Amino acid sequence: ALRMRFIRALFGLIPGIAATVPHVNGALSGVVQLRNGVVLGQLVAPELSVGERLLPASLQLSGVPSSLDAALVVAGTLISGELDAGRLTGSARLERFPLELVAEAFVGPSDVTASLTGVLRFDVPLDDAASGFVRVATEEVHLARAGIVPLGTLTLTYDDGALNVERVEFGGRGAWE
């Protein structure tokens, strides 16, 4: 049996995290164990933040090393996935998901707010992520900057290196289709 326990491990000290998403702060706690060929784990980061805004997250893992199921909850959104045979597949139902925090995790603070309500599906080979598939279909995209608040919808698919914007409509002060 192998057991890893994280007790308030700071994100900035986890290899690769600080370099990839330098504006994410917080600590990770939990346990991941391998016993009798089965992986079970739960990791939580209730004080995870991007800048000054909280973005609590938790991750549950189960399965065997060659086929893991994962349930990630971040900002109240459940993202379900499976890692099997070198492929990551899954889906999410996004409810007012804070898109600006995802961008700010990489580049720092901005004066834009953005949220998305819709669905996401993905199928990505880990050895060649660029050849993967991601589809986003929204019910509503909310953007706000300098008092301008366009609302809209969009559907886009990334498939094997090609991005296809199937539908996009925004309205507010004027309209864009």
Residue 8 confidence class, pLDDT cut points 50, 70, 90: confident
Q: Please give the model's pTM, rounded to 2 decimal places.
A: 0.83
- Rounded to the nearest 5°, which phi and psi values hold at 65? -55, -30
Percent of the chain topping pLDDT 70:
98
Q: What is the mean pLDDT of residues 129-154?
A: 92
pLDDT at 174: 57
Give the number of other Cβ atoms within 10 Å of residue 74's Cβ: 19
pLDDT at 21: 87
Q: Which residue has the higher pLDDT, 62 or 175?
A: 62
- Residue 177 reports pLDDT greater than 70: no
Q: Hey, which residues does 6 pair with through a beta bridge?
A: 30
Q: What is the pLDDT of residues 38-52, one digit of tens each?
A: 999 999 999 999 988
pLDDT at 17: 80
Q: What is the pLDDT of residues 73-96, one digit of tens each?
A: 998 899 999 999 999 999 999 999
Distance CA 156, CA 160 (A): 13
pLDDT at 138: 95
- Residue 175 reports pLDDT greater than 60: no
pLDDT at 41: 96
The number of angstroms, rounded, from the C-alpha of 137 to the middle of its chain's C-alpha atoms is 15
Distance CA 109, CA 169 (A): 27
Distance CA 43, CA 32 (A): 8
Burial pattern 144-176, b for ≥16 Cβ within 10 A else e, equals beeeeebebbbbeebeeeeeeeeeeeeeeeeee
